Amino acid sequence: AQSVAQPEDQVNVAEGNPLTVKCTYSVSGNPYLFWYVQYPNRGLQFLLKYITGDNLVKGSYGFEAEFNKSQTSFHLKKPSALVSDSALYFCAVRDTGGFKTIFGAGTRLFVKA
Amino acid sequence: GAGVSQSPRYKVAKRGQDVALRCDPISGHVSLFWYQQALGQGPEFLTYFQNEAQLDKSGLPSDRFFAERPEGSVSTLKIQRTQQEDSAVYLCASSLGTSAYEQYFGPGTRLTVT
C-alpha cells in the first residue's frame, strides 16, 4: 500500500535561512513524487514533481526537492526562505502503475522576519 | 485563464439528506480527481476520471458515494444519506493529459452534516 509521512507538523525558520521540509514515502513499485503548497484562503498549488531522471528537481518559487531512492525520501528545500513562503506544504506520492495519489498530512512552515 | 471551479462552496445538510457537489475542470483537461479533506489532514483520494471513464474509484468510502463525469468535462460527486462523518472539504482537481502529473485544484466545497 502507498503511504506518505511528513514527520514535522511545523517547521520554523528565520528569513534568509535555508529551509527543509521532510517527506518519506512507501510504494510497491516506482514512485511519482509531488509537492503542493496551500496558502491561506487559497487552493492547493503544484510546486514540483519527480517522475524520472535527475534526482534533484527544481520547481516554482525557488523550491527544489531531492529524490533519494535508498532512503525513500523526497525532502523539499529552499536555499533562502522568505516570509511569503509561510504556508502549508503537502508531499504526495503515486505509484507509476496507477493514478491514486496519496497525500501526507501536511507541514506548516513559518518563516519569521 | 479560468481555473477549476466548484459549487456550492459551502453546503449544510441534515443527516440523511442527499447532496450533489459540482466540479468544473479547466477546459480541455482530460483527467479529473476527487478528494476528501478532513480538518487538519491532507487530501484523501476518492476517485479518478479520464475523460468520461472512471478508472479508479477505490477511495470512495462507501456505496453512498457516487461520482460521474458523463460528457468528460463537468463532474458531480453525489453523497446519499449523508452522515456526520461525511463532514469535510471535498476537493476537485484536473490535469491536462492522461499522465496527470500536475493537478490543478479547485477551492473545494465545505460540507457540514448536522
Q: What is the pLDDT of residues A32-89, one digit of tens each?
A: 999 999 998 888 999 999 998 899 999 999 999 999 999 999 999 999 999 999 999 9
d(CA A97, CA A43): 27
Q: Which residues of B touch A (CB under 8 A)?
A: 3-4, 31, 33, 35, 40-45, 48, 50, 55-56, 58-59, 91, 93, 100-108
Alpha helix (H) ranges present in chain B?
none
Cα–Cα–Cα angle for B75, B77, B79, nearest 5°? 165
Nearest to B90 by CA among B114, B56, B61, B58: B61
Could you tell me if A15 and A82 are in contact, meaning their C-beta atoms sit under 8 angstroms apart?
Answer: yes
Contact B55 A34 (CB under 8 A): no
Enumerate the residues of chain A whose CB falls inside 8 A of the CB of residue B101. 32, 34, 49, 51
Instruction: Give mean pLDDT, residues A15-30.
Output: 95
- Residues of chain A in contact with residue B3, where contact means CB-CB under 8 angstroms, are 43
Residue range B55-114, pLDDT digits in tens = 999 999 999 999 999 999 999 999 999 999 999 999 999 999 888 889 999 999 999 999
